[in-house]
Amino acid sequence: MVCMPYGWYMDVVQIGGLCGEFCTENWPSPVVRKCYALMVLVMQFILPFATMAVCYYTIFARLRERTESKLKRLTERSQLLECSAGNTSPSEKKEDGAQKVTFEEQQRLSVLASQRRTTTILLSMVLLFGLMWLPHNLYSLIIEYNEAFFNNGERDNTYIVSMIAHLISMTTNVANPILYAWLNPSFKEMLLTSIRRRPRAQGKPTTKPTVVSV
């Protein structure tokens, strides 16, 4: 739907001094073209960025509630275990209490680490999308309002700036899987283990079975 006006105002023209026909934009007025550029900015960057921020914040709020509920249950269970151990001897109570405190503290730290990791992923995804797609959208908006902005008189840097901005925006397709994988402790541990084992496997001599003919 967003690209329909762009396709509607495309014409095939012939440019003097060049062979062949070329497909180019032919807007009825510069005002219409600038309005379309603003609409593309809203639909391509502002609206997706705002939607992603709201959705990820909602996910973060739900996960925070779940984490608080888990921590509350851990605290209640710890208090219940302390009350149930009230009839034991002082030495046994001290030893069991230390073990229970250590176990409960490990569980609490594990829950907090999981929440911290999830928060880092969600926040990084929103910031990554905004920072990576901002140069491309700013470039498109600047070109629509001032085509000679990147032309210093001696050299036209429009094409170079366009390629760099587009390259930065496309890095999100590569950065997202890497971010998810690296912040996943299981995947990271498995990857590091496989990397450590590979040199050992390559260093082992290959042995061939000996065939003895009788």
The whole-number average pLDDT for the span 168-173 is 88
Q: How far apart are CA 129 and CA 135, in angstroms?
A: 11
Of the candidate ranges 52-61, 70-79, 91-100, 131-140, the one whose mean pLDDT is the lowest? 91-100
85's tokens: 């151990």
Q: Is residue 203 part of a domain?
A: no
Q: Is residue 209 part of a domain?
A: no
- Cβ distance 167 to 133 under 8 Å? no
Residue where the block lists tokens 């069991």: 96
User: In this predicted structure, what is the pLDDT of residue 152?
Assistant: 76
Of the candidates 86, 113, 108, 109, which has an alpha carbon nearest to the alpha carbon of residue 97?
86
Please classify residue 139 by burial: count the beta carbons closer than 10 Å to its beta carbon, then call 0-12 exposed, 13-18 middle and 19+ buried: buried
User: In this predicted structure, what is the pLDDT of residue 49?
Assistant: 93
Q: Is residue 82 part of a domain?
A: yes
The whole-number average pLDDT for the span 112-131 is 85
Q: Is residue 214 part of a domain?
A: no
User: In this predicted structure, what is the pLDDT of residue 87?
Assistant: 52
Of the candidate ranges 45-54, 84-93, 169-178, the one whose mean pLDDT is the lowest? 84-93
Query: What are the DSSP calls for 28-49, one per residue?
Result: S-HHHHHHHHHHHHIIIIIHHH
Q: Is the pLDDT of residue 148 over 50?
A: yes
Beta bridge partners of 25: 10
Q: Is residue 201 part of a domain?
A: no
- Cβ distance 128 to 172 under 8 Å? yes
Query: What are the tens digits of pLDDT across the range 9-48?
Result: 777 877 766 667 777 777 788 888 888 888 888 988 999 9
Report which of residues 88 and 163 the model is more confident about: 163
Report the number of distinct structural domains present in the chain: 1
- Domain residues for the domain of 39 are 4-195
